[in-house]
Structure 1
Amino acid sequence: MVRKYVVSPGGRRGAHPDIGSALRAAAARGRAARIEIAPGQYEEQLTVHGEVELVAAGEPGSVVVSRPRGTVLTAFGSVVVRGLVLTGRDADAGVVHCRGGSLALDRVEVRAHNGVCVHVSPGASATLTDSGFRFGRTVFTGAAGVVERCRFAAAADNAVAVIESARVTIRDSRVDGARIHGVRVSDAWAQLTGCEITGTERAAVIADTQAELTVEGCRIEGVHGPALQFVEQSRGAVRGTRVRDAENGILVASGADPQVRNCVFTGCRDTGIHVQDAGRGAFEDCEVVDAGNVGVLSTRGGAPQMSGCRVSGGNVGIAVTDHARGRFTGCLVRDLTGVGLRVLDESKAVFEDSRVERCPFGLDTKGNGGTTAELTGVAFADFDMIAVAAVGQSRVTLRAAVAERGLLGFGAGEEAQLHLHDCTVTGVETGGALAFGTARLVARNLTVTGAQSYGLCGTGSAFVDVAGSRFEDCAATGLRFDESCGGRLVDCSVTGTSKTAVQHTGRVQLVSLRTTLPVKEITEPAPPPTIVNNYHGPVFVEAVHSAQLAWGNTNVAQQQTLQGRPDDRGEQTGDAGHAGVDRPRRAPTAPASPHASASPTSPHDPTAPNAPTDPDGASR
């Protein structure tokens, strides 16, 4: 039978003046006890043993128990606390510390200034219902716990920590404004159901160090970091969860492998789904809306698998970059400002039975030969620029792909390789397929219908290998090959109202072609004349007479003898005291073109007197 004890600060008859005296009386009897506490302020440190219930006699919150420093309530045995407010400061062990047995907090408020609200030690268990925890964290260390309809507010670090093999279930609770994480699960097991988490500075919910975490039917919004984070080989599941306004909707890294289903990530500032550093994960029936950078990103060795997912709005739909992988089945990507699908930098991606619509670019790939994309049953519709663009040395294989209503269907440039099998292009404004640079384009059973310019074009030094393909109703030409483009056509047909079936330079072998339209060989223009400019001598633009020229010499001495009557020499020279002596004069020069230089004359030109000689005696 439970014995009742009453506590009243006034010390009325039959009541204990403080809680401590009632606990001592209950311990002396060694029986189950119920201690009813009258409203008021109690500055005490309580240590509870055995089977004890502490109850506020008035409304919840009317009884305040506090201490200036340290732990307020230490529990051993089976302890229930109802309706109390427990306040402490600098309580590293917890304002409430369950050291053994079981503890239940019902309609309790715990305030921990610069400390821990509740600490449940290894082997103990705690049940928290309809309670509030402010400023400090709640820690389950190797313990068991159930949290229902509680609120954790303004925690100075993590709001709830489940660590060291603890097992905790959290239902219908709320976490606001934690300085680090809302809920951290480390080397432990936890399940969150129907919870709301807002305003955390780092990941709202994180699982690390081989933790196992299940998140179901939760709502996370307005967080500075990722909404959900699985790292360090953690496992678990996320189902039916909604995320809004986070840096990342879910971040998976370092070997973690969660199962994510039926979740929505809206307005994420960077990425909706982010997998990196050997992270994996299976994502099914998820939606990413208006991601600031990339809807779904696999990077730095990430390897997710996605099925039935939808990406809309934002910049890039699905990107696989920097040695990453990914398999995407039954996905829908639409209404982006950039590119629907992207594969870069030695990454490998597989897309199956998916659709990309209303994006400027459908798929772009770039990187070395290790960059590959394989697409099967993928449709591109209403693209502004190009459905598929492969550049660098990347390799793209399309099977049963469709491109409709855009500028250009499929293209390969630089040193890329593009393989088309059973693909269709319809209603494009320019052409069905294009190869340029030194790219290689291989097409089998390609069908291009209604291109407003050409069906297929090769230019530069590209190589095309086209077999079993049809080009219908292309406005200008079925196939056009310019410059040094080479290759072959086998068992192809060109029909419709095109002006020509094929225009080529003779470098593409027309092995077999069915058409009633003309085939024209493009005559290559003659190479321009070679112009050699000599910048080592004069160029004269007018007739020059009596010129003396010298070049290629370090020193030049010139003399000129004046011609005239013998008795006029003194006047000719202008020096009567030195008649008959020639005076050196500067050689006259001819006007030169401003756009050219002089060209050399013969080294034996008699008009260049006193030319110096090389050391071996040869005149220069």
Structure 2
Amino acid sequence: MVARYVVSPRGGRRAHPDIASALRAAAARGRAALIEIAPGRYEEFLDVRGDVRLVAAEGPGSVVVGLPRGPVLLAAGSVTVHGLALVGRESVVAGCHTGTLTLDHSEVWAHGGVGVHAPPGTSVTLRDSVVAQGRTLFVGSVGLVERCRFTDAADNAIAVTEGARVSVRGSRIEGSRIHGVRVSDAQAEVVGCELTDAGQAALMADARARLTVADCTITAVHAEGIMFIEQSRGSVDTTTVTDARHGIAAASGADPVVRGCVLTDCHDTGINVQTSARGRFEDCRVLGAGNVAVLATTGGAPEVRDCLVAGGNVGVAVTEGARGRLTRVRIEDLTNSALRVLEGGTGVFEGVRVDRCLLGLDTKGDGGTTADLTDVVFRDFETAVTALGRSRVTLKGVTAERGVVGFGVGEEARLIVHDSTVTAVSVGGAVAFGSGKLHARNLTVNGSEGTGLTASGSGYMDVGNSEFTDCASAGAAFADESGGRLVDCAVNGTRGRAVLHNGRVELVSLRTSLPVVRETVRTVEQTPTIINNYAGPVIHGSVHGSQFAWNNDTAHQTQTTQDGPEHE
């Protein structure tokens, strides 16, 4: 049977004047106790032992227990606190020494200290409560947090460390100076929560932690919405991150699984995987990323499946020795490249669809910079594929429709094309310039307003079993010191010439009714000049008599006319 005790500073029949005296009486009897506390402010330390329930007699918020310094409540046994406001400063406000502690419909005001402390071997539950201006700390303990609010923590709002196991559900965490929830060498699940205005990552997993996140909303974060580092694992499902610097990030060997998430208006990156981290991202949407929607860098290796990237600057960037694999991803309406592989990165893209992006794929770097595209479609672009530096690009079953240039290779890069099609381009189907090399089999170019193939500089083309139809200028054109060979190819239509060449191209079994013209030319009309300058303009098409300036406060242009120089 539970013994009942009443606390009232105003006195009364069998009432205790303070809470401590009621606790001493309950401890002396050694039975389960219910202590009902009248409204008021109590400046005392509560040492609660045994099976005890502390209740605010007239409802939550009517009883305030506080001290200027030191702990306010220490529990040992099976202790429940209902409706009390505990106020402390620069110390542990409510701690569980041994056993279990439950805070129900209560408030904890820590003022820079630890609001709630659950040390090793204890179990602490917070339900329908508020923890303000302090952190909740689970160390090697078990915890349950339901429908609570954590506000303005001077540190991490909730820290789960050293093997602790904690579940946080249906709660709101706002204004944390560091993290909303930090999990370090421990396990935690965060379900159905709102997190906002964190100074660093809203959710952080480090030191081989395991973090499970589901159905959460994260907004206005100064760093990452969710961050996995130091070989941490876990999953993120059906969660929304808005207005963070990075949506979801993984680093230093972490490997999360992310499904069904929406990452919107992230200022830098939506998905960021680096420093030997991995990660699998499925059925996600990255919308309006300020810099790169999906970034793999410094050895990161994400796998992205069945996702949508829309709006923003660059879609996917793989750089600095990273590896990225994209499968069945849609990329739409970007102001820059849909796919970018740079500086030793390796990109594998399968079943990708790219619509209305300035550039489809661009690569630049050393010989270890590679991109492999299979069953990829580019629509409404300026250049579908551009390979520069000494990078290597392989296309299989790639389609490019409605643009300026289909496939381009320059500098010392190499482009290999199999079973691919370019349709309705205004300049050229495939272009080799500089010292670039193009190797193509079963390439089809339909409806180019310029050429089917164009080689200039020292570019080289080896093209076989290919077909060029209705190319307004020429099926193939070779200028400068470029060369190559066409084997078992066909040029169809009624416009232009079959081949315009410089004597450095070998024609084997060419099928055409159009003329083949040999002449020495230094340049070929409509041969595209492709300039990739990430701080300046991106230009496709022949450029004549133009001036460009960027990163200048003022620009002065001089144009020569028949009457002499004019100044603007």
By the TM > 0.5 criterion, same fold? yes
1:53 corresponds in structure 2 to 53
Deviation at 1:493, TM superposition (A): 0.2
Q: 1:524 to 1:262 in 2, by over 3 A?
A: closer
Match of 2:490 among 490, 493, 513: 493
1:362 and 2:336 are equivalent in the alignment: no
Q: What does residue 305 of structure 1 align with?
A: 303
- Counterpart amino acid of residue 157 in structure 1: D
- C-alpha distance in 1, partners of 2:66/2:214? 37
Q: Which amino acid aligns with 2:82?
A: R
Shift of 1:31: 0.4
SS of the residue corresponding to residue 27 of structure 1 reads helix
The CA distance in 1 between the partners of 2:509 and 2:479, in whole Å, is 20
Is 2:514 the counterpart of 1:482? no
Pick from 481, 506, 509 the counterpart of residue 512 of structure 1: 509
- Matched residue of 1:24: which SS? helix
Provide the rounded CA distance (Å) in 2 between the counterparts of 1:485 and 1:190.
Answer: 62
What residue in structure 2 maps to residue 42 of structure 1? 42
Q: 2:277 aligns with which of 276, 279, 285?
A: 279
The structure that is strand-richer by fraction is 2
Residues 27-75 of structure 1: per-residue CA shift (max 9 Å, x gap): 0110000000000010110111110000000120000001110100000
**What residue in structure 2 maps to residue 196 of structure 1?**
194
What residue in structure 1 maps to residue 227 of structure 2?
229
Match of 2:207 in 1: 209
User: How much has 1:524 moved relative to structure 2?
Assistant: 5.4
Q: CA deviation at 1:487?
A: 1.2
1:320 to 318, 321, 332: 318
Structure 2 match to 1:19: 19
Alignment of 1:133-282 (within 5 A): 133-282=131-280
CA distance in 2, matches of 1:73, 1:336: 57
Corresponding position: 1:87 with 2:84? no
Q: 2:26 is matched by which residue type in structure 1?
A: A
One-letter amino acid matched to 1:505: N
**CA contact 2:112–2:153 (8 Å) conserved in 1:** no
Cα-to-partner distance string for 1:69-121 (whole Å, 9 max, x where unaligned): 01000000000000000001111xx1001011011100000000121000001
Distance 2:205 2:24 in 1: 43
SS of corresponding position for 1:71: coil
Say yes or no: does 1:437 pair with 2:434: yes
Please provide the CA RMSD for this pair.
0.7
> SS state of the match for residue 342, structure 1?
strand
SS across alignment from 2:221: coil
2:89/2:111 contact within 8 Å kept: yes
Which stretches in structure 1 are left out of the alignment for 5+ residues?
526-620
Structure 1 contact 179–201 (Cα < 8 Å) conserved: yes
1:360-439 aligned within 5 A: 360-383=358-381, 385-439=382-436
Question: Percent sequence identity over matched residues?
Answer: 60
The residue number in structure 1 matching 2:97 is: 99
Within 2, Cα distance between the matches of 1:371 and 1:242?
33
Q: Matches of 1:262 and 1:520 in 2, distance apart?
A: 57
Correspondences of 1:102-121 after superposition (within 5 Å)? 102-121=100-119
> SS of the counterpart of 2:223?
coil
The letter of the residue matching 1:245 is D
Write the deviation string for residues 322-374 of structure 1: whole angstroms up to 9, x where unpaired.
11111000001110111110000011010000111101110100001110000
SS in 1 for 2:95: strand
Amino acid at match of 2:392: R
SS in 1 for 2:20: helix
> Retained in 2: the 8 A contact 1:478–1:498?
no
The residue aligned with 1:616 is none
Distance in 1 (CA, whole Å) between partners of 2:473 and 2:436 is 23
The amino acid across from 2:87 in the alignment is T
Q: Is the 8 A contact 1:307 1:329 kept in 2?
A: yes
CA distance in 2: counterparts of 1:316 and 1:232, whole angstroms: 28
Task: Find the aligned partners of 1:286 and 1:438 in 2 and give their Cα distance.
Answer: 40
Q: Kindly provide the amino acid, as one letter, of the partner of residue 299 in structure 2.
A: G
- 1:72 alignment counterpart: 72
Task: In structure 2, give the amino acid aligned to 1:267.
Answer: D
CA separation in 2, counterparts of 1:343 and 1:206?
Answer: 29
Structure 2, unaligned runs of 5 or more:
523-568
Aligned counterparts of 1:524 and 1:246: Cα–Cα separation in 2:
54
1:427 aligned partner, one-letter code = A
Q: What displacement does 1:471 show?
A: 0.2
With the length of structure 1 as denominator, give the TM-score of the two structures. Answer: 0.84
Distance 2:64 2:448 in 1: 80
- What amino acid sits opposite 2:48 in the alignment? V
Other structure's SS at 1:295 match:
strand
Partner Cα distance (1:261, 1:86) in 2: 40
The CA distance in 2 between the partners of 1:100 and 1:18, in whole Å, is 24
CA distance in 2, matches of 1:412, 1:275: 28
Q: Distance in 1 between matches of 2:458 and 2:46?
A: 87
Q: Partners in 1 of 2:520 and 2:455 — Cα distance? A: 16
Give the secondary structure class of the aligned counterpart of 2:79: strand
In 2, the alpha carbon distance for the partners of 1:440 and 1:223 equals 46
Distance 2:90 2:508 in 1: 87
TM-score, normalised with respect to structure 2: 0.91
**For residues 179 and 308 of structure 2, what CA distance do their matches in structure 1 show?**
28
CA distance in structure 2 between the partners assigned to 1:333 and 1:220 by the alignment = 24
Q: What is the rounded CA distance, in whole Å, between the counterparts of 1:497 and 1:432 in structure 2?
A: 18
Contact 1:413–1:438 (Cα < 8 Å) also in 2: yes
Per-residue CA deviations over 1:288-343 (Å, capped at 9, x if unaligned) read 00001000000111100010011111100000011111100000111011111000
SS of structure 1 residue aligned to 2:81: strand
Give the 5 Å matches for 1:574-585. Answer: none
How far does residue 498 in structure 1 lie from its aligned partner after superposition?
2.4
Q: 1:23 is paired with a residue of what secondary structure?
A: helix
Amino acid at match of 2:270: G
2 CA distance for matches of 1:318 and 1:292? Answer: 12
The answer to whether the 8 A contact 2:18-2:42 is kept is yes
Q: How many residues align?
A: 522
Partner SS for 2:98: coil
- Where 2:438 maps in the other structure, the secondary structure is strand
The 4+ residue runs of structure 1 with deviation greater than 6 A are: none
> What are the within-5 Å matches in structure 2 for residues 287-298 of structure 1?
287-298=285-296
Deviations 1:465-518 (A, max 9, x none): 000000001111101111111111110000002221011111111011001111
Measured in 2, the distance between the counterparts of 1:415 and 1:140 equals 57
Larger Rg: 1
* Cα distance, 1:523 vs structure 2: 3.5
**2:224 aligned counterpart, secondary structure:** coil
Mapped contact 2:99–2:122 kept (Cα < 8 A): yes
Distance 1:524 1:265, change over 3 A: closer
